[in-house]
Amino acid sequence: MSHPDRMAEEYVNFIERHTAPRAMPLDEIATATRADKTLSTLVTCLRTNKWSTEILTSFKHIKDELTVTNNGIILRGHRIVIPQALQQRAIDIAHETHLGLTKTKALIREKIWFPNIDAMVKTTLDRCLTCQALGRPGPPAPITPTTMPDGPWQTVHVDFYGPLPTGEYLLVVVDRYSRFPEVEIVHSTRASTVIPKLDKIFAVHGIPTLLKSDNGPPFNGEEYQRYLTALGIKAIFSTPKWPQGNAEVERFMQPLGKSLKAAKLDGRPWKQELSRFLLHYRTTPHCTTGVPPSELLFNRQVQGKLPILQNAISLTVTTRLGKRKQERRNKLTPNFNETPHIVISRNNNTVTARSQTGHTITRNVSHFKPIPKPKIDVQVDDDDDSETYDAERTERDRVDTSNPEPRRSTRNVRQPERYGEGIPSSVIR
C-alpha cells in the first residue's frame, strides 16, 4: 500500500474512532452493519464499484461520499452510516436531554447519518410526551364575541379578589352593559356570607337575568344554586382554568389591585382608598364603551371632585373588539400536562377530555395539543444532499380543459384543523 493510501486509511479510521456515540461502541456498529442486508450489499458495491442493485437507490446519488473502514463500517464523509437495527437507538441517545428538534438534528448530523434521518428524528420528538408537555402552546383560539345585553344590569359577572392581608376578600360584581362595578368586603367565600351581600347589591340595582362566574366555591355549591333559582337568575360558568371566560370582572381586578397596593405603600387605610377608587373608576370613560360606567347605568353624570356641567345625555353603547393577550405561566411550569387525555366532547371553544384514569376535565381548546398517532414505518428515499426531509408531494388535481377558466380564485377556504370539530388525543395544560 502506498504512503498516500495509508494516510487516507488512517484518516478514515481516525474519524471512525472519534464520531461514534459513547453509548454505541464501534464493534456493535460493525456487527450490526454486517447483519444488515442493505449495508452489507453496500459494502460489496463500494469495494467492487458496481451499483446495479435496486435496493441501494438511496445511496447511489451519494456514492462518491461513501467509504468503508477496515472493520466494515461505512462512512459518509466523516459521519458513520448507522444500520437500521441501531437507528432508533441512536436518535434516542441524541434526544435524551430533550434539546428540541433543531438542536437534536444538529447533534445527530454531526456524528452519524442514515437514509430518512430527519423524518425519523421529527417523528421521535413528536411522540415524546416530555417534549410535548414542555413545548410551546399553539396559537390561541379565535376570540368568540359575546352578545351585548339590551340594557344595564341584565348580565353581571361575579368573582373574588383576595385574600387580603387581613384575611378578608372582596366580592366583585361587574355589569356587562355599563362595566359598572360593585365591591363588597366579605370575611369568607362561603355561600352563607356571599348571599347577603348579593341581596344588598340586587336591592339597589335589581335582579339580573344572567350571572356569570367561575366554577369555584361558593358558585358550584347547592346553596348558591338554590338561591339563584329562587330569584329566577340563570347561572353561567366560565371554562375552568380559563380566566378570559370571565374577562369583564377579571379585567377590573387589575386596577383594583393596583389601587390597594398603592394605598398600602402610601400608608393610607385601604378600605377608605377603595371607596375613592370606585368613585374614580365609575366616573372615568371606559376604554371599551367610551362612556363612564356610572352614566350608562344611571343615565346621568355623577359628581366627583372635578366640576361638571349637568346636561341631559343620550347614550349608545358600542363595543370595540380587539385582541387580548393570554397570560403566560411561570418558566418552571410545563405548558402542558405530560399525561395524554382523550377528547370526548366539544362545545365551540370549550373541550371536555378524559384521562387514562377516567378523570374528566373541561378546558378551552387552546389548552389542548394533538399527539401524533402511533409510529408507522415508511421507507422514504433520502435523495437530498442538504439532508432535509422532503415530504412526498401530492399530485395536483387535473383541470378539465372543456370548462372555462374562472376569472378569480375559487379555492375552498376552511379553518385550520385545530379549530375543527375533530380533535385527536391531546395532552392538557
Do the beta carbons of residue 211 and residue 224 sit within 8 Å?
no
Amino acid in position 306: L
Give pLDDT, residue 139.
75
What does DSSP assign to residue 57?
Answer: H
Average pLDDT in the 194-203 region?
96
Tell which wins on pLDDT, 348 or 202: 202
Q: Compute the mean pLDDT over every residue in the chain, rounded to the nearest whole number.
A: 79
Cell 410526551 locates to: 129
Distance CA 81, CA 382 (A): 13
3-state SS class at 255? helix
**Alpha helix ranges (H) inside 20-148:** 26-35, 37-48, 57-60, 84-94, 101-111, 117-126, 129-134
CA distance 92 to 382: 20
Would you call 167 exposed, middle or buried from its count of C-beta atoms within 10 A (0-12, 13-18, 19+)?
exposed
Report whether pLDDT(129) > 70.
yes
CA angle 93, 99, 103 (to 5 degrees): 95
β-strands 368-370, 426-428: how paired?
Answer: antiparallel
Mean pLDDT (whole number) for 95-114: 89
Residues near 117 by Cβ (< 8 Å), separated by ≥ 6? 87, 108, 109, 382, 387, 389
> Between residues 428 and 211, which one has the greater pLDDT?
211
The domain 155-298 is placed in CATH, from the list 2.40.30.170, 1.20.80.30, 3.40.50.2300, 3.30.420.10, at: 3.30.420.10
Q: What is the pLDDT of residues 48-57, one digit of tens each?
A: 887 766 667 7
List, for residues 156-187, the tens digit of each pLDDT value: 999 999 899 889 999 999 999 999 999 999 99
pLDDT recorded at residue 279 = 93
Each domain of the chain, given as residue ranges in start order, spans 17-134, 155-298, 337-371
310/345: higher pLDDT: 345
pLDDT at 307: 84
Q: What integer pLDDT is reported at residue 385 of this predicted model?
A: 46
Residues 368-420: tens digit of each pLDDT: 888 776 665 545 454 444 444 444 444 444 444 445 555 555 566 665 555 44
CA atoms within 13 A on the CB side of 273: 16
Q: What are the φ/ψ torsions at residue 171 (nearest 5 degrees)?
A: -85, 115
Q: What is the pLDDT of residue 7?
A: 65
User: What is the arithmetic mean of pLDDT over 114-126?
Assistant: 92
Integer CA distances (angstroms), 180 to 158, 161, 169, in order: 12, 16, 19
pLDDT at residue 148, as a whole number: 82
CA distances from residue 16 to 21, 30, 36, 58, 359 in whole angstroms, order as listed: 10, 11, 19, 22, 52
Most confident of 13-22, 257-266, 325-334: 257-266
Report how far residue 143's alpha carbon sits from residue 322's, in angstroms, rounded to the nearest whole number.
9
- pLDDT attached to residue 112: 92
| 285-302 average pLDDT score | 89
According to the model, what pLDDT value does residue 425 have?
Answer: 44
Closest CA to 319 of 285, 290, 297: 290
- State the pLDDT confidence band at 24, using cuts at 50, 70 and 90: confident
Residue 113 pLDDT greater than 90, yes or no: yes
Phi, psi (deg, nearest 5) at residue 183:
-130, 125
Identify the three-state secondary structure at position 350: strand
Distance CA 107, CA 163 (A): 50
pLDDT at 286 over 60: yes
Lowest mean pLDDT among 109-113, 203-207, 320-324, 373-377: 320-324
- Mean pLDDT, to the nearest integer, of 193-221? 93
- 96 pLDDT band, cuts 50/70/90, is confident
Compute the residue count for the chain.
429
> Cell 362561603 appears where?
190
Please state, for a pLDDT cut of 70, what percent of the chain lies above it: 73
Q: Provide mean pLDDT across the span 86-102.
A: 89
DSSP code, position 184: E
- Specify the CATH number of the domain 17-134: 1.10.340.70
Percent of the chain with pLDDT over 90: 33
Q: Specify whether the backbone of 142 is left (phi greater than 0), alpha (psi in -120 to 50) or beta.
A: beta
Q: Which position has the grid cell 430533550?
A: 98
More reliable by pLDDT, 416 or 36: 36
The pLDDT of residue 305 is above 70? yes
Number of H helices, E strands in the chain: 13, 14
The pLDDT of residue 224 is 93
Question: Which residues sit opposite 184 in a β-bridge?
Answer: 171
Provide the pLDDT for residue 54. Answer: 67
Strand partners, 173: 158, 182
